Structure 1
Amino acid sequence: MATRTPAVGKARNERLFFGTMAVAILAAIFIGFAPSFYLRDAIPAPRPLLPMTPLVILHGLLFSSWVLLFMTQTLLISGGRTDIHRRLGRLAMVLLPAMIVVATLTALGGVARQSGPPTVPPLSWLAVPLLDVPLFAGLIGAALYFRHKPQVHKRLMLIAMIGLLPPAIGRMPVSDIFPGPIGFFGVSALFLLPLFAWDYASKGRPQTATVAGAAAVIGSDIFRIAIWETPAWLAFARWASALVN
């Protein structure tokens, strides 16, 4: 019994950590999108709202369903219900393809809607939601591939959710304090720090999945900033957005 007590405590702390991170991500997404989506017309918005379209509504519902699924899956693991967690995980394989298609179409359609922060032109901003798609799909695909390795799986799932935060952060007042990429990319990246801290506290070093996932997110952010004002990107963005507008 004495030898099992530290292991039980460690497992409990791990469930608490990942559960807390899931709640923090859920809260950030809700706060960011409350004025424009969840509580639209019920609370004041910091800037004029764009008209809603059926595609935008579908996009919001799909990604909201994913966030709720992520939260539910985290709570199921915390409650020791891995059996339900595995069965419910099949829903992710249905949602993911639909999210990829809808997110791509919504991103391209956002150019005509003039979506994005007022400080970034729509064609440049397209780099953010459009390149979110391969980043998110790649991280989730890797997480599903490593679903039989819980320590890898949970870290990649968490990092994939962190990768979704820039649009939510960009809609918060923090974007007025830290305008531009520093606001929506930099503040979102701060959510990676607790995971590195947890790795050091629980494992004594950052885990490979944590380093690889964080490198993918930060590398993607830097890449988007580097290209989004280049003639090549603007030409591509103009061509791609014209396919749906």
Structure 2
Amino acid sequence: MATSANLGAQAQSGVSDTRFFTVMAILMSLVIVAGFSVQLGFGRSSFAVPWPFHLHGIIFCAWVALYLAQHILIGSGNSALHARLGKTAYLLIPAMLVAGTLIMVVVIQRNGGPFFFHKSEFFWSNTAVLWCFGGLAFWSLKQRRHTGWHRRLMLCAMAILTGPGLGRLLPLPLMIPNSWLITTLVTFIWPVIGIIADKRSRGEVHPAYWWGLGAYVATFAVSMVVGYSQFGISVTEWIVDGTPGAERPMEPFLPDGFTM
């Protein structure tokens, strides 16, 4: 009887976990889509951009769709298709790292990056946390047979990708000179929600959250140090040398006549 009760409790816990991670996947995906849609709706974004932007958009949209689909498939009990579809991540993640790094170079050469970010901070930290995403996502795939680790590491990885969406929803020009810091801190809310959920449902926090969030925090901290160092600034200046991106200040600023 005790064994049956324990199995029943474990099954119920698994269903609750699946529901939680599915809801989180939906919310994170909606934030990303909302951020870009709002900027497009206000005319602050345009499809009239060089091809690297389109390549980057297609690849990253494919990832968001895959991430959401994988949780819906597990929630519906279709683990076989989940496993088969998940194999595409091994190709998609490297493509994201290449396209994401390329777009960072293109952006800072094109206009120096968003005016409300420090130019070197934006380049170094954005690139670093992207590669942190890649590391966490691959680690999650390696742990796919260990559901607890797999789900939580992937949530921490996905939290990183919500930054661009959240940043487009926040009034970042009003947050200068801490716009990038605030954007990143807000993305930490996703793993924190997971930690709270674990504590409430399990009575303890799964170590995957400490490792995943810890790796993200550490990567961000190091990237900020490098971005503001003389070395980091020199590399950034070398990358933008001779391009329109070199014409904007290194520090964040408000353009003349800017209004929200």
Q: TM-score range by the shorter chain?
A: 0.7 to 0.9
Which among 12, 16, 32 is matched to residue 13 of structure 1?
16
Q: Report the alpha carbon displacement of residue 120 of structure 1 after superposing the two structures with TM.
A: 1.6
Please list, as runs of the form range in 1=range in 2, the aligned pairs for 1:169-184 lying within 5 A after superposition. Answer: 169-176=166-173, 178-179=175-176, 180-184=179-183
Task: Tell me how far 1:140 sits from its aligned partner.
Answer: 1.0
Matched with 1:161 is 158
Q: Select which of 77, 88, 109 maps to 1:91.
A: 88
The aligned runs of 1:1-245 (5 Å cut-off) are: 3=5, 4-36=7-39, 40=40, 43-45=41-43, 47=44, 51-114=48-111, 116-176=113-173, 178-179=175-176, 180-240=179-239
In 1, distance between residues paired with 2:16 and 2:212? 22
> 1:126 and 1:82 mapped to 2: Cα distance?
39
Distance 2:152 2:57 in 1: 24
Which is bigger in relative contact order (C-alpha 8 A, separation at least 6)? 2
Give CA deviations for 1:112-166 in whole Å, capped at 9, x if unaligned. Answer: 1226432223333112331133201110111111111111011111110001122
Task: Give me the whole-angstrom Cα distance separating, in 1, the residues matched to 2:149 and 2:83.
Answer: 16
- Per-residue deviation, 1:51: 4.9
Aligned residues, how many?
Answer: 239
Distance in 2 (CA, whole Å) between partners of 1:243 and 1:74 is 46
Q: Which of structure 1's runs of 4+ aligned residues deviate more than 4 A?
A: 47-51, 176-179, 240-245
Which one-letter code corresponds to 2:23 in the other structure?
T
Helix, strand or coil at the partner of 1:117: coil
Q: Is the 8 A contact 2:100 2:127 kept in 1?
A: yes
Q: Percent identity, please.
A: 25
Residues 110 and 122, structure 1, Cα contact 8 Å, conserved in 2: no
Tell me the TM-score normalized by structure 2.
0.83
Structure 1 residue 221: deviation in Å? 2.0
Distance 1:86 1:134, change over 3 A: same
- How far did residue 101 of structure 1 move? 1.2
What amino acid is the match of 2:146?
Answer: K
CA distance in 1, matches of 2:192, 2:181: 16
Question: Larger radius of gyration, structure 1 or 2?
Answer: 2
Spell out, residue by residue over 1:215-237, the C-alpha distance to the aligned partner (whole angstroms, 9 max, x if none). 01122222223332221101122
Supply the AA of the counterpart residue of 1:198.
A
Contact 1:19–1:74 (CA under 8 A) maintained in structure 2: yes
**Aligned-pair distance for 1:205?**
1.7
Is the 1:139–1:156 Cα contact (8 Å) retained in structure 2? Answer: yes
TM-score, L = length of structure 1: 0.88
Q: 1:51 to 1:143 in 2, by over 3 A?
A: same
Distance 2:242 2:223 in 1: 21
Q: Is the 8 A contact 1:50 1:115 kept in 2?
A: no
Deviations 1:22-46 (A, max 9, x none): 011001101111145xxx3xx214x
Q: In structure 2, what is the Cα distance between the partners aligned to 1:76 and 1:140?
A: 18
